[in-house]
Amino acid sequence: MPLTAVAIRHVAFEDLGHLDAPLRAAGYAIRYVEAAGGGVAALDPLAPDLLVVLGGPMGVYEAAEHPFLGDELALLRARLAAGRPTMGLCLGAQLIAAALGARVYPGPAKEIGYAPVTLTPAGDGSPLSALRAGQPVLHWHGDTFDLPAGAVLLASTKLYHHQAFALGPYALALQFHLEADRIERWLAGHADELRGARVDPTEIARDAARHDAALRDAAAAVLARWLGELGHGEPGPPPRG
């Protein structure tokens, strides 16, 4: 029987991207659940071998406008309490933090564009060590979170101290995007946000063309290391450079 991976998607263009092919290669059958379609409440929180909660433009604290966020938090609380493998990306990371009892709130400014993260000592010993030193990753967020109790901080930037954390071997939360590919979809889907933040989309498009191949490899390497720690795959290759 194949392993099962469920990805909760909030907007059509923020999908598994660079994580899709390596997950399939590791033996996962992938199924998407559209958060706004009402499917989250019907999910068995313990059933998937892997749950990935993807990004989106809404805030964790906007459950009144987006009731599915409450369903996601309930799902994550049950799943994390059982120690089931869970990954969160951007909004997904913030939802994991909130499910663990941490506060999620607006950050000091929008952080949008390609830039590296700085790994903590714990990050150096984590799956994120597969990132090449100085490897730019895509940032696209305006919210942040407190570090949940029991979690270990893995990465930071100057503007956002809490960029990634782990809870045991089974939960990995990344505020940044390793998965983002076909960036032109993001530029179209988030055009209003870019204008409001006064971010030049041509600069993001240029950086995406420059960094996409390396990010594809980095996403696969980080994922391979994490799946290896879960016992769902082989340890990934050592970092390059």
Through-space distance between the first and last CA atoms of the chain, rounded to whole angstroms = 38
107 within 8 A of 215, measured Cβ to Cβ:
no
Predicted model pTM: 0.93
154 within 8 A of 175, measured Cβ to Cβ:
no
What does the angle CA 184 – CA 186 – CA 187 come to, to the nearest 5 degrees?
65
| Of 115, 231, 92, the residue nearest 170 (C-alpha) | 231
Task: From the options 3.30.230.10, 3.40.50.2300, 2.60.120.20, 3.40.50.880, give the CATH code of 3-230.
Answer: 3.40.50.880
Q: What is the pLDDT along the chain (241 residues), one digit of tens a residue?
A: 789 999 999 999 999 999 999 999 999 999 999 999 989 999 999 999 999 999 999 999 999 999 999 999 999 999 999 999 999 999 999 999 999 999 999 999 999 999 999 999 999 999 999 998 899 999 999 999 999 999 999 999 999 999 999 999 999 999 999 999 999 999 999 999 999 889 999 999 999 999 999 999 999 999 999 999 998 754 433 333 3
Q: Which helix (H) or strand (E) holds 142?
A: strand 137-145
